[in-house]
């Protein structure tokens, strides 16, 4: 499918084609001292590192390793001052085992999915440091872990390992391919149930990596047209279950999307309205869901231009993080193929720029449900695009909608950089999505929908303004979006402005993909 602006040539930048890490996982029940390969990684807690009066490990697995190494493990860990504290790790080259090296990696005592995922990421860091191509992973404390928890621990470790191995080097002049090719998970079970869990982890990781690549791509490469191309490519890759419809400006005008088109009007790159639809390969559809993602491939702020320190204009390529989560979930679900559920993935993609054709402060735009909006701030543009996307989603006959958006700085002030705020009038939907986030390890916090705050959103000349006062900004934004959702449809808004970006590592996180996939799967069953 060709678009009027297929790829921006600004800066002559083209991303290199880099394949995501291909790691084969196997679950094995073999003696870890007999395992042969490059690196044996053992997850330990401070309790596991306890020693008796003879400086011997009390933990049976560490005891066994140490006796094969004639006490060298105990000696080396003491010399390195390794106590098993969370975040600590050592890699040792010791003779006497099948593996060339042993790594001890500190874990928290709590047995939570997020901890096992972090452990998997730490293993990938250790593997990179020694260019290991084959790795075995085990936990020092396996007694007492129930079978179901072992399954989810193995899946979380595999997820962390794949995501930790992935480096987005598409825009670097020189880049290394990761050496890691195979991972054996020891002592956490084996058989078809575990293999299914590991396949699921791989499918979700491919969606997260795709989402990360979309957010990391700069705005001179990822235009609205290119985002639409990427969405169409996913649909053709999984054409047995996914179909794509891309609407151009004229088709959006026919649907009266004045709110979305008002935002898009200033850019030389035309808007593209993306609609992917997942239908199960067989069987009856019991529920219809929609995932709506904010898709601002760049946000200058418009005439209310982002200026001054802390305005983050240089990060505004990530203002399409919601659409990345939605399309990443589509990619994962295209591989998982859940039964009984139909899912609509909707993105109103555009740029918020400045030009003589652009929207001005004080303009009034009319959304596709007929409601009028006085634009008192052109930098509150995401909600204007989502307004028409939400109306469109309701018109697909769905039962439930979740929208994901990097919507407000106010939500980052309230919840910090690693927690997304969720807003919904539905307790049922809140419980479903919070349950999915517990399984995925992503952090969400339910915020109030304080109806009395709507007073600040009233206009003297239109139905509403697009921003209220400074106080309660994330709540006002959610109340605005609610005006465009059919009362019969359960709806949730996720403000993910904080967790979309990892400031320490200067990269996208892929936030939202795994929670949305978990939610769709729970809805399908």
The answer to whether residues 7 and 226 touch, using CB atoms and an 8 Å cutoff, is yes
Radius of gyration of the chain (CA): 25
Active-site pick, 197, 383, 400, 482: 383
Active-site pick, 306, 443, 446, 522: 306
The answer to whether residues 37 and 98 touch, using CB atoms and an 8 Å cutoff, is yes
The answer to whether residues 407 and 477 touch, using CB atoms and an 8 Å cutoff, is yes
- The b/e string for 54-93 (b: 16+ C-beta within 10 A; e otherwise) is eeebebebbbebbebbeebbbebbeeeebebebebbbbbe
Burial of 184 from C-beta contacts in 10 A (0-12 / 13-18 / 19+): buried
How far, rounded to the nearest angstrom, does the alpha carbon of residue 227 sit from its chain's CA centroid?
17
- Closest by CA to 106, choosing from 80, 71, 145, 133, is 80
What is the sign, positive or negative, of the torsion defined by CA atoms of 260, 266, 267, 270? positive
93 is catalytic: no
- The b/e string for 391-404 (b: 16+ C-beta within 10 A; e otherwise) is bbbbebebbbbbbb
Which tokens hold the place of 255? 């649907």
Q: In whole angstroms, what is the distance from residue 490 CA to residue 429 CA?
A: 7
360 is catalytic: no
Residues with Cβ within 8 Å of residue 253, at least 6 apart in sequence? 261
Q: How far is CA 289 from CA 28, 105, 277, 394, 475, in A?
A: 38, 41, 10, 10, 24
Q: In whole angstroms, what is the distance from residue 92 CA to residue 90 CA?
A: 6
Residues forming beta bridges with residue 350, ordered by sequence position: 296
Catalytic residue set? 306, 383
């Amino acid at each position: 499918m060709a678009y009027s602006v297929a790829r921006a040539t600004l800066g002559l930048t083209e991303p290199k084609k880099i394949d995501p890490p291909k790691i084969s996982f196997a679950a094995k029940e073999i003696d870890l001292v007999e395992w042969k390969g490059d690196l044996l990684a053992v997850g330990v807690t401070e309790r596991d590192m306890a020693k008796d009066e003879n400086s011997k490990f009390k933990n049976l697995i560490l005891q066994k390793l140490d006796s094969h190494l004639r006490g060298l493990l105990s000696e080396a860990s003491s010399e390195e001052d390794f106590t098993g504290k969370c975040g600590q790790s050592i890699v040792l080259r010791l003779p006497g085992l099948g593996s060339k090296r042993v790594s001890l990696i500190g874990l928290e005592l709590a047995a939570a999915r997020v901890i096992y995922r972090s452990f998997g990421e730490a293993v990938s860091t250790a593997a990179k440091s020694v260019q290991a191509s084959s790795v075995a992973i085990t936990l020092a404390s396996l007694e007492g872990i129930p079978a179901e928890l072992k399954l989810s621990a193995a899946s979380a470790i595999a997820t962390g390992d794949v995501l930790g191995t992935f480096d987005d080097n598409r825009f670097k002049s020189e880049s290394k391919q990761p050496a890691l090719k195979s991972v054996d998970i020891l002592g956490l079970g084996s058989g078809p149930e575990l293999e299914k869990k590991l396949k699921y982890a791989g499918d979700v990781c491919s969606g997260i990596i795709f989402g990360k690549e979309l957010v990391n791509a700069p705005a001179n490469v990822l235009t609205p047209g290119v985002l639409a191309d990427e969405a169409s490519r996913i649909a053709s890759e999984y054409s047995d279950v996914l179909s794509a419809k891309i609407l151009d400006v004229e088709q959006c005008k026919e649907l009266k999307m004045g709110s979305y088109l008002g935002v898009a009007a200033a850019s030389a790159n035309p808007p593209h309205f993306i609609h992917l639809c997942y239908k199960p390969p067989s069987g009856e559809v019991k529920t219809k869901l929609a995932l709506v993602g904010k898709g601002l491939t760049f946000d200058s702020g418009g005439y209310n231009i982002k200026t001054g320190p802390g305005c983050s204009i240089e990060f505004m390529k990530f203002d399409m993080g919601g659409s990345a989560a939605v399309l990443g979930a589509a990619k994962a679900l295209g591989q998982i193929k859940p039964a009984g559920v139909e899912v609509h993935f909707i993105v109103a993609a555009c740029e918020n720029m400045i030009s003589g054709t652009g929207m001005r402060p004080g303009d009034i735009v009319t959304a596709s449900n007929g409601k009028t909006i006085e634009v008192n701030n052109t930098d509150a543009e995401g909600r204007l695009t989502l307004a028409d996307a939400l109306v469109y989603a309701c018109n697909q006959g769905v039962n439930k909608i979740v929208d994901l958006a990097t919507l407000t700085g106010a939500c980052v002030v309230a919840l910090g950089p690693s927690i997304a705020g969720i807003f919904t009038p539905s307790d049922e939907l809140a419980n479903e999505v919070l349950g999915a986030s517990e399984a995925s390890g992503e952090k969400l916090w339910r915020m109030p929908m304080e109806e009395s705050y709507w007073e600040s959103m009233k206009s003297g000349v239109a139905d509403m303004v697009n921003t209220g006062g400074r106080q309660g900004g994330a709540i006002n934004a959610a109340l605005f979006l609610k005006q465009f959702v059919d009362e019969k449809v359960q709806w949730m808004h996720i403000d993910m402005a904080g967790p979309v970006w990892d400031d320490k590592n200067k990269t996208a996180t892929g936030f939202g993909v795994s929670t949305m996939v978990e939610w769709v799967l729970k809805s399908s069953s």
